Chain A
Amino acid sequence: MISIGIIANPASGKDIRRLVSHATVIDNNEKINIVERIILGAQALGVGRVYMMPDSFNMGYRVEEKLNTCDELRCEINVIDMYRYDGIEDTLAAAEQMEKLNVGCIVVLGGDGTNRAVAKVVKNTPLISISTGTNNAYPVMMEGTIAGMAAAATANGSFDESFYIERDKRIEIYKNGVLEDIALIDAVISKETFVGSKAIWDMDSIDKIFVSRCHPASIGFSAIVGSRKIILPKDDYGACVDINNNNSKVFAAVAAGVVAPVSVSEPIILNLDDEYKYTTSFRGTIALDGEREIQFSEKQEFVFKVTRHGPRRINVKRALETAQNNGFFKTKNDSLI
């Protein structure tokens, strides 16, 4: 049976960026609506089973109930049976489980943080990342129905994936030779001394930014580097810049609704697998994809490395183009039309 996975993070979209910037608010009922549309799009094109991550808002069961109530559910919804921590652990466990279950793809609803967690554990299963979090760098806003259709086309497994699936880069952060964590888009060295409410909104606190890609049309730290140089997902390199080092300033969309001048050095290109050593000279934190995650004290050594070990990302538009080229949308019985 053709199956897909859906990971919808109930916690995304409510962090401090609603207070310190003008970030989007998406409540869990809207996430349920999006999940419904994904499932309706997917089941119409042959998906028979949908695995879902269990969550505190019971999104899986609510979707099942709502679709059954209007008699529209044609596939099986299977909420994964696992212990729930109501934290990022759930995303990690569910993603791992879904890959074991050989789902055709995983649709992720969340922000950069959610996608980063999925990317940490998923090796080969391709992802469709829908932004329901803070105005994000990695996932993109898209219509759930279309995402569901693309998921079905991918899970169907009969098209040449090289047309529409790319493996993304990631930034690997090593401490004492051990992989400490990863970032999909950007890693930031900040003078904020604690993880706290995670986001970073004080540009003065930033020391250095590493990016796997950057573009002025993104939001956050990659936009800062993107204001100097554009690095695309396909480019086999990333970059790093110094911030607040008396360099000339550029305007960048550092947060939702916040376009601020930031002092940025010329980007240093980091080719794939180049090691960039960084020794801390103050107490601070490393933010991954916009969220403070790693707390460090003085004189600690980190290595930053851009690699091509990121998740396999589905280009939804191209997936549907490929599907169309292969006659995927033709109904089985033409006489019905």
Chain B
Amino acid sequence: MNITNEQIKNMYETMLKIRKFESRAKDLFAEGKIPGFVHLYIGEEAVATGACANLNNDDYITSTHRGHGHIIAKGGNLDNMMAELFGKETGYCKGKGGSMHIADATKGILGANGIVGAGHNIAVGAGLAAQYKKTGQVCVCFFGDASTNQSTFHEALNLASVWKLPVVFVCENNGYGISVSQERHQAITDVSVRATAYNIPGITVDGNDVFAVYEAVGEAVARARKGQGPTLIECKTYRHRGHFEGDMTVYRTKEELEAWLKKDPIPRIEKYILENNIMTEEEIKEENAKVENMVKEAEKFADESNVPTLESALEDVYTDIVEEGRVR
């Protein structure tokens, strides 16, 4: 599969954006600036980046509770994202969604989702719309290993297969459903084998290798656009942080984390870039500084934005009805 140096640089930038955005979100959560829950994507950057590198602006994605990476990879704007995490009116959802519900219809982002497994079915709907309107769009549905135990996974793969919908199911197998390891939550090690039950191709790739993901999703996207139906791609990966910030990860060993840190996708792409003279050390440093600055700007934007007006809580429940407020 062809890939230009420009594409590789873009992938690297996307991975850095995710890593640095998430790392900053971790600190900001610890400082109390981000309320609620945050589920960080650190360690899994290659999956979203490699997958979304195959998509056009009008292609769709559905995401999960661990959605920041997907949104950044699909072109989400860091300013609006950070503002949403802060609960500000300039946030993607005007402060009404928060970390787990960021969406951007103009970029085909059908939303992060707080319900494990909910995205599968929505992706089927998006695929149905694309197929029905013959637009050539595809939908990439991101989800974790544990969500494949939900009925939605099975309903969605079945219907997508029966209707040959242009959906690429991308499983981020990070080995855990919250604290329960894969061997304790399903009697298989490779989610990809579940594809057999729905008569669609199912493959497993190294989810920490951005090129492996890019290539596999690229083939699946091409297949979907040709009307040949859905594909299940399992990306083996690992989250460096806990399920959410504040999770002490008592359920996993230090050795396991260390083994995975050695497979960190970002040093891997950096090594490739240097070995192939795509960028110099100096340029890599500059790129890092540039992305750090973007995150800083996003934080500044979020910090300086206003909190939403109370009236806005009553809007957007419906397109045409504003709910009643209260006097305090």
Residues of A within 8 A of B (CB): 10-11, 14-20, 25, 27-28, 56-58, 83, 85, 192-198, 202, 283, 295, 297
Complex contact A19–B189 (CB within 8 A): no
- Given A25-B202, A192-B1, A297-B277, answer yes or no on A58-B183 (Cβ-Cβ < 8 Å): yes
- Kindly state the separation between the CA atoms of A246 and B203 in the bound complex, as whole angstroms: 34
Contact with A along B53-79 (1 / 0, CB 8 A): 000000000000000000000000000
Complex contact A19–B203 (CB within 8 A): yes
Complex contact A28–B189 (CB within 8 A): yes
- Kindly state the separation between the CA atoms of A297 and B271 in the bound complex, as whole angstroms: 13
Q: With a CB–CB cut-off of 8 A, which chain A residues contact B47? A: none
- Given A14-B192, A14-B193, A193-B276, answer yes or no on A19-B209 (Cβ-Cβ < 8 Å): no
- Kindly state the separation between the CA atoms of A28 and B183 in the bound complex, as whole angstroms: 13
| B182-199 interface (Cβ within 8 A of A) | 183, 188-190, 192-193, 196
Complex contact B214–A14 (CB within 8 A): no
Residues of B within 8 A of A (CB): 1, 3, 183, 188-190, 192-193, 196, 201-206, 209, 211-212, 214-216, 219-220, 223, 231, 233-234, 255, 259, 272, 275-277
Complex contact B209–A18 (CB within 8 A): no
Q: With a CB–CB cut-off of 8 A, which chain B residues contact A295? A: 272, 275-276
Q: How far is the CB of A79 from chain B (nearest CB, A)?
A: 15
| Residue from the list A11, A193, A197, A198 in contact with B3, Cβ < 8 A | A193
**4 A-B pairs with least C-beta separation:** A196-B211, A194-B211, A14-B204, A196-B215
Complex contact B219–A85 (CB within 8 A): no
- Kindly state the separation between the CA atoms of A119 and B217 in the bound complex, as whole angstroms: 32
- Given A58-B183, A297-B277, answer yes or no on A194-B272 (Cβ-Cβ < 8 Å): yes
Q: With a CB–CB cut-off of 8 A, which chain B residues contact A195? A: 209, 211-212
Q: With a CB–CB cut-off of 8 A, which chain A residues contact B234? A: 14
Q: With a CB–CB cut-off of 8 A, which chain B residues contact A16? A: 203, 205, 215-216, 219
- Kindly state the separation between the CA atoms of A336 and B275 in the bound complex, as whole angstroms: 69
Q: With a CB–CB cut-off of 8 A, which chain A residues contact B276? A: 193, 283, 295, 297
Q: How far is the CB of A4 from chain B (nearest CB, A)?
A: 24
Listed by A's residue number, 29 A-B pairs whose Cβ atoms lie within 8 Å are A10-B190, A14-B203, A15-B203, A16-B216, A16-B219, A18-B201, A18-B202, A19-B203, A19-B220, A25-B202, A27-B188, A27-B193, A27-B196, A28-B188, A56-B189, A57-B188, A83-B255, A85-B259, A193-B3, A194-B272, A196-B212, A196-B215, A197-B212, A197-B215, A197-B216, A202-B1, A295-B275, A297-B276, A297-B277
Chain B minimum-CB-distance residue to A21: B201
Chain B minimum-CB-distance residue to A198: B212
Chain A minimum-CB-distance residue to B262: A85
Q: With a CB–CB cut-off of 8 A, which chain B residues contact A297? A: 275-277
Chain A minimum-CB-distance residue to B263: A87
Complex contact B216–A28 (CB within 8 A): no
Complex contact A11–B211 (CB within 8 A): no
- Kindly state the separation between the CA atoms of A11 and B236 in the bound complex, as whole angstroms: 11
- Kindly state the separation between the CA atoms of A194 and B216 in the bound complex, as whole angstroms: 13
- Kindly state the separation between the CA atoms of A282 and B32 in the bound complex, as whole angstroms: 52
Complex contact A197–B275 (CB within 8 A): no
- Kindly state the separation between the CA atoms of A19 and B192 in the bound complex, as whole angstroms: 11
Q: With a CB–CB cut-off of 8 A, which chain A residues contact B196? A: 25, 27
Complex contact A19–B231 (CB within 8 A): yes
Complex contact A15–B202 (CB within 8 A): no
Task: Taking A16-B203, A19-B220, A27-B190 as given, write out 19 further A-B residue pairs in contact, using a Cβ cutoff of 8 Å, ordered by the A residue number.
Answer: A10-B189, A14-B203, A16-B215, A17-B203, A18-B203, A19-B203, A25-B196, A27-B188, A28-B188, A28-B190, A56-B183, A83-B255, A196-B1, A196-B209, A197-B205, A197-B206, A202-B1, A295-B272, A297-B275
- Kindly state the separation between the CA atoms of A202 and B205 in the bound complex, as whole angstroms: 18
- Given A14-B204, A27-B196, answer yes or no on A19-B3 (Cβ-Cβ < 8 Å): no
- Kindly state the separation between the CA atoms of A10 and B1 in the bound complex, as whole angstroms: 27
Q: With a CB–CB cut-off of 8 A, which chain A residues contact B188? A: 27-28, 57
Q: How far is the CB of B233 from chain A (nearest CB, A)?
A: 8
- Kindly state the separation between the CA atoms of A257 and B155 in the bound complex, as whole angstroms: 30
| Residue from the list A10, A14, A20, A25 in contact with B219, Cβ < 8 A | A20
Q: With a CB–CB cut-off of 8 A, which chain B residues contact A85? A: 259
Q: With a CB–CB cut-off of 8 A, which chain B residues contact A27? A: 188, 190, 193, 196
Chain B minimum-CB-distance residue to A55: B189
Complex contact B205–A25 (CB within 8 A): no
- Kindly state the separation between the CA atoms of A194 and B190 in the bound complex, as whole angstroms: 24
Q: With a CB–CB cut-off of 8 A, which chain B residues contact A10? A: 189-190
Chain A minimum-CB-distance residue to B276: A297
- Kindly state the separation between the CA atoms of A295 and B203 in the bound complex, as whole angstroms: 23
Chain B minimum-CB-distance residue to A283: B276
Of listed A85, A193, A196, residue having the most chain B CB within 10 A? A196
- Kindly state the separation between the CA atoms of A15 and B209 in the bound complex, as whole angstroms: 14
- Given A195-B212, A196-B211, answer yes or no on A15-B277 (Cβ-Cβ < 8 Å): no
